[in-house]
């Protein structure tokens, strides 16, 4: 499963349950960083 898929599931989970607690936000920021690093590494 790709990072984009994980991110989609995370945001869908947040939108469905209305959950945006500290941990969820941290996870989404970690994913953003991973995705960003992978994009930079691919160039």
Quick one: pLDDT at residue 36?
A: 83
pLDDT tens, position by position, 4-43:
887 788 777 777 776 667 777 787 788 888 888 888 777 6
* Res. 3: pLDDT tops 80: no
Q: Using H for helix, E for strand and C for coil, what is the string for the chain?
A: CCHHHHHHHHHHHHHHHCCCCHHHHHHHHHHHHHHHHHHHHHC
Quick one: pLDDT at residue 20?
A: 63
Quick one: pLDDT at residue 34?
A: 83
Quick one: pLDDT at residue 43?
A: 64
* Res. 1: pLDDT tops 70: no
**Assigned token pair, 5:** 């898929």
């Amino acid at each position: 499963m790709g990072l984009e898929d994980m991110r989609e599931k995370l945001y869908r989970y947040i939108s469905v349950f209305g959950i945006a607690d500290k941990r969820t936000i941290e996870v989404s920021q970690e994913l953003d960083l991973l995705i960003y690093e992978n994009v930079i590494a691919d160039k």
